[in-house]
Each structure stands twice: as C-alpha cells, then as structure tokens.
C-alpha cells in the first residue's frame, strides 16, 4: 500500500524569494565555495596516515548551509556525495541539537543508519559560526582502517553490532578543546590505533580548514549577499538537471539487476528499479526491492538517496561541480524493511555494493528505450580487497585496502574507458611503490585483460588483472560483486568479462569473490580479476581500422576478431 512507502525529496527548495546579487559576484562565490571544499580535501590528504585516505581518496569533504543544503563538495568519493546531509543532521541531534553547539565544536558520528555507510566511514562535523550566528557546517566522512568490528572488513555479518563501534553524535572537540575521553575511546576501539589516531586528527584539520575558508568568503561579501548568491547558485544547478530531463520523454522505465549473494546465504538476490520521468523531474522507485537481507548487502536510506543523486548528477551535470540545486528535481521512493531501506539491526557492512548495482540498473532502465542517453554496463563493482595481519619482525598490526579498476561501458559517444566504477570515479588505487613500501607484498602484475571488452560499434573498456604476492602470512577480505551477471551491452553491443577474485597456491587457483578472513600464506598470491565493460551498437558497425588497432595493441585476440568481427580479414 502507498501508505507504507517512504517518499524522499532529494533537494531542498529556495529559502529566499527575491535576490538582487549580480551574476559575476554569484559566479565568484560559487567558485570560492568549490575552492573551500578543495582546500578541505588537500588538508586531509596532506595529513592523513592511511593510504586509503591520502592515495585512494576514500572520503568526502563538503560544506552545507544551516538548512543542510550542499554548497560544495571536493571531487573524491561520489557515492558519499548524497549522504553527508544525513550525517550532519543526525550528528547534531546526537550532540543535543543546534542550541548545544558552540564555536570550535567538532562532532564525531558513524551510526550506519544515519551515515548510510558501514561504521568505518566515520564523519566529523563542525558547525560554522559568523558573528555569533550558526551559518553552516563543514563535514568529512572518511574510511578508518579498523573500528573494532568482528573483522577489519567483513562480508558475513548478521547484525549491525558485529560491524564496529558506533559513535552516535558526540563531541570530539568542545569549544575547541579535545574531549580526551572520546578520543581515547576511538583509539582504543581499533586494531590499528596509530593509523586511526592520525586519520582522526587529519579529519579535524580538514573541517577546520573548510570552516576558515568559508568564513573568509562570507566576510568578504557579507552574509546577506552571500545567502542571495547561494540561492542563485542552487537555481542554476537545478536548471541544468531539469533541462536534461526535458529531453527524455515522459514515461516509466524499468531495469533489473542482482547481487551474487547476500554474504551469508547462497543464491542470487534479484531486484528491480523503476525510473519515472515526468516533464522536468524524475522519481527513482526502489520500493519493490527484496526484503532486508540476513547478510550485509542492505543499503541504508542515505546511500539509497545518494545513488539517485549521483546517477542524475553524472548524467545531467554538464561537467559542473554539483550542489543542492542538482538534487531538487529528484525524488526517491523506498519501502521500510527492504534491502534499500533496511531497519536496524539489519547488517549493512556491504551497503555500497547494492548501491553500485542500483546505479548500473538506473542506467539500464533508461537505456532500455533510449540507449543513446546512457552507457552500457561497466564491470559493475570496485572489487575491493582489505588486507591485515601482524608484521613478522616487529609484531606490529597493519592493515590496508583498496578498490580496483574495471572497464567502463561503451556509449554512443565512443569506446568505454578503463577506470573505477561511477560510484568511485574520482578515487584511485595506490601506486605500486606505496603498496610495496607499506605492506608485506609484491605487486606481481597489473595488466589489461585481453578480450575482456564487450564487442560493439563502440567496444567496452578493458578489465585489469592485479596480482599480489604475499611476503608474510596475511588475512584478506574480498568483495567482488557481479561475478554471476556479466556486464551487459546496449543497442546490440555484447557482454564484457565478469569480475572474480582468486587465491593462487602453486598451481591451485581458488575462487574467493566474496569471502571474509581468507588466509593467504607467505609466497601465495591474490589475483583480482576486474571485469570489462559492455559494448554499444552492433559489432558489424565497428570501424575496420579500430578493430585492427585493437588487435595490434593486443587488447583483443585473433579468436575474438573471428567471433565478433568475422568480416574482418586478418
């Protein structure tokens, strides 16, 4: 019944009815806000202890106004983009509300149902005061390597309490002074306390950097003109997305996808997404999702909302930095107690993996009738691996982890690229030199996978093999989704190679795509098989010279040419 459905309007409307700020000033303030967010990012990266932050960029730093409208966010982890307003709202509630905030406060918050993430993604939130008035918030949500869950990373949790320590909105700094008890508790609840301590301090530096940068902008133009400019900035962002949506005929579009398993039980978990376009607005209906799962593939509401925000911003954003206005045309419908709106204490550790699949299925839904508007499927996953153990010589605990790059789907505009998933498009994996310097392994190979691209008029991006040889006994948790559903093509394009992950022991190769605490013995290796992207258009329409060039580059083999391009003589 409709009364059981939850409707979430993704953007907040205009707060000031009339403005007289000139467009040049508005544009300067807009770029100043983006610069302030970028300063937060750089301060965090320069001071963080963990490569997962300063190399991988597994974080988001953003600035919101007092009404929790996004002013700006630095390019980092796109999937976090639409969650930070939830983080701020719940963090402030936990700290006693706005009336209990002071200049210099910093709140720590990581409850999964408020952040939309697993507990490792901890948010630091700082209120910004100007002339004794609360005007905004700066916030950074970043991944901590360990926060005292059953394992540093898990695919098999059965409730949220196994997933890590929860900080439900408490002050880490009170009026600028460190609350030592809270800080000590954070450090005590980690297997790698030194790394977590360094990253907490880096996040604090980051939110303070954003606070100072924002105050400089407001002081320069005055609060009244600043607020008027913000309304104009949001209106401009809204127009960009609405103009895109007007190009899509009204109607309902359906897409289907699946998860390989829920992490604790065998069997795929299928789901559907309905996209409803009406004039210059869009509704993403996730209400027919399967019931919340016994394993950790449940996606809390903030990340479900963020999925819709990211999907539309990437399609319709015209390469502009997003802000609150981009989200106003979007509505999300969910149903409580389902995989895309779970209720505590359902496990949510792998929240990002159904979100990534929902992104792909959103594009698949539109592509079912208008393939020229969207890309074919990418490899569909970030193929994450998290490693940990104790160093042989010192006994010191260590941990590290990373996403890995997949092939992107082709589109009407050309071949697919080889890069990370849409949900992590501004992130990266660490250089081999950093990996090998910090961790007890050697990078044996990083190579493009021949024939992994989906054939078509435009072919998909290639997949990548990454193999790591362990120099010490190591534990690993692997999260490679979409091993059962190959990346689909569009408009006659063919499938790409699916993902997988293997432990290699001598000549034995064991598939471990979604597994917790896998022991990789010294001398053995982990091979991450990152899938390719789907093709676009009929392979018969591919340019002859492009096929020959791909063959010369060894992206494809002679057998591949014979199978998909039989008219080409080689």
Query: What's the pTM value of the predicted model, to 2 decimals?
Result: 0.95
Q: How far apart are CA 338 and CA 291, in angstroms?
A: 4
CA-closest candidate to residue 73, choices 85, 82, 62: 62
Residue 443 tokens read as 């990078």
Strand, coil or helix: 41: helix
pLDDT score at 532: 97
Q: What is the pLDDT of residues 251-279, one digit of tens each?
A: 999 999 999 999 999 999 999 999 999 99
Chain position carrying tokens 């005055």: 222
User: Residue 128: is its pLDDT beyond 80?
Assistant: yes
Check pLDDT > 80 for residue 1: no
What is the per-residue pLDDT across 474-492, written as a single tens digit (0 to 9) for each?
999 999 999 999 999 999 9
Residue 3 confidence (pLDDT): 62
Cis peptide before 363 (omega within 30 of 0): no
Q: Are 120 and 146 in contact (CB under 8 A)?
A: yes
Helices (H), 95-179: 112-115
Q: Tell me the mean pLDDT in the region 447-465.
A: 98
Note the pLDDT tens digit of each residue in 346-376: 999 999 999 999 999 999 999 999 999 999 9
Taking residues 430-450, report their average pLDDT.
93
Q: Which residues of 260-273 are buried (b: 16+ CB within 10 A; e: fewer)?
A: bbbbbeeeebebbb
Strand-pair partners of 127: 137
CA 536 to chain centre: 25
User: Average of pLDDT values for 9-18?
Assistant: 90
The mean of the pLDDT values for the chain is: 95
The 3-class secondary structure across 378-447, one letter per residue, is CCCCCCEEEEEEECCCCCCEEEEEECCCEECCCECCECCCEECCHHHCCCCCCCHHHHHHHCCEEEEEEE
pLDDT at residue number 76:
87
Q: How far is CA 277 from CA 154, 218, 316, 356, in A?
A: 38, 38, 14, 21
Quote the percentage of the chain above a pLDDT of 70: 99
424: pLDDT confidence band, cut at 50, 70 and 90? confident
Contact 406, 482 (CB under 8 A): no
Per-residue pLDDT, averaged over 204-228, amounts to: 98
Mark residue 148 as left, alpha or beta (left: phi above 0; alpha: psi -120 to 50; beta: remaining): left
Average pLDDT over residues 181-199: 96
Smallest Cα–Cα separation from 299: which of 352, 358, 359?
352
pLDDT at 421: 81
Greater pLDDT, 41 or 75: 41
pLDDT at 318 over 80: no
Tell me the pLDDT tens digit for each residue of 146-174.
Answer: 999 999 999 999 999 999 999 999 999 99
CB 160, CB 346: distance < 8 Å: yes
Per 3-state DSSP, the chain is made up of helix, strand and coil in percentages (nearest 5) of 30, 25, 40
Tokens of 364: 């698949």
**So what's the pLDDT on residue 2?**
55
**Would you state the torsion angle of the CA atoms of residues 370, 374, 378, 384, taken in this order, to the nearest 10 degrees?**
-130
């Amino acid at each position: 019944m409709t009364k059981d459905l939850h409707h979430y309007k993704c953007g907040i409307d205009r707060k000031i009815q009339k403005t007289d700020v000139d467009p040049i000033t508005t544009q300067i303030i807009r770029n100043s806000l983006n610069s302030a967010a970028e300063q937060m990012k750089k301060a965090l990266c320069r001071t963080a202890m963990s490569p997962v932050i300063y190399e991988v960029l597994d974080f988001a730093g953003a600035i919101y106004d007092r009404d929790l409208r996004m002013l700006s966010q630095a390019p980092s982890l796109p999937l976090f983009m639409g969650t930070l307003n939830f983080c701020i709202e719940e963090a402030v509630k936990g700290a006693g509300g706005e009336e209990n905030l002071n200049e210099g406060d910093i709140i720590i918050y990581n409850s999964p149902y408020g952040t939309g993430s697993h507990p490792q993604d901890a948010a630091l939130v700082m209120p910004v005061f100007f002339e004794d008035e609360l005007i905004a918030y700066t916030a950074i949500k970043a991944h901590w390597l360990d926060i005292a869950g059953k394992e540093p990373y898990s695919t098999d949790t059965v409730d949220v309490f196994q997933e890590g320590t929860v900080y439900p909105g408490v002050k880490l700094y009170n009026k600028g002074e460190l609350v030592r008890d809270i800080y000590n508790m954070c450090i005590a609840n980690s297997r790698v306390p030194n790394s977590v301590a360094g990253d907490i301090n880096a996040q604090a530096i980051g939110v303070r950097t954003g606070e100072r940068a924002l105050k400089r902008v407001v002081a320069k133009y005055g609060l009244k003109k600043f607020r008027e400019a913000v309304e104009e900035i949001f209106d401009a962002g809204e127009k960009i997305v609405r103009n895109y949506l007007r190009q899509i005929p009204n109607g309902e579009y359906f897409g289907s996808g699946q998860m390989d398993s829920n992490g604790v039980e065998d069997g795929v978990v299928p789901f559907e997404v309905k996209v409803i376009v009406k004039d210059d607005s869009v509704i993403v209906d996730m209400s027919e999702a399967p019931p919340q799962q016994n394993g950790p593939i449940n996606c809390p509401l903030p990340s479900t909302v963020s999925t819709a925000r990211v999907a539309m911003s990437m399609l319709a954003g015209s390469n502009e930095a997003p802000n609150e206005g981009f989200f106003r045309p979007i509505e999300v419908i969910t149903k409580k107690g389902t995989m895309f709106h779970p209720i505590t204490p359902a496990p949510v550790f792998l929240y990002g993996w159904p979100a990534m699949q929902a992104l792909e299925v959103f594009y698949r839904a539109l592509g079912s009738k208008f393939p020229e508007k969207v890309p074919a499927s990418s490899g569909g996953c970030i193929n994450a691996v998290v490693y940990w153990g104790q160093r042989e010589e010192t006994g010191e605990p260590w941990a590290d982890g990373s996403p890995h790059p997949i092939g992107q789907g082709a589109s009407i505009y050309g071949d697919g690229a080889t890069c990370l998933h849409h949900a992590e498009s501004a992130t990266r994996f660490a250089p081999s030199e950093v990996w090998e310097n910090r961790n007890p392994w050697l990078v044996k190979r990083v190579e493009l996978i021949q024939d992994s691209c989906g054939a078509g008029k435009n072919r998909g991006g290639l997949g990548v093999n990454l193999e790591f040889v362990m120099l010490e006994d190591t534990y690993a948790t692997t999260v490679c989704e979409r091993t059962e559903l190959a990346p689909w093509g569009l408009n006659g394009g063919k499938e790409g190679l699916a993902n997988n992950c293997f432990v290699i022991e001598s000549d034995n190769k064991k598939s471990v795509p979604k597994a917790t605490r896998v022991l990789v013995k010294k001398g053995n290796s982990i091979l991450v098989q990152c899938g390719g992207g789907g093709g676009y258009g009929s392979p018969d329409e591919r340019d002859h010279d492009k096929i020959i060039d791909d063959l010369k580059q060894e992206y494809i083999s002679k057998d591949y040419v014979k199978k998909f391009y039989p008219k080409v003589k080689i």
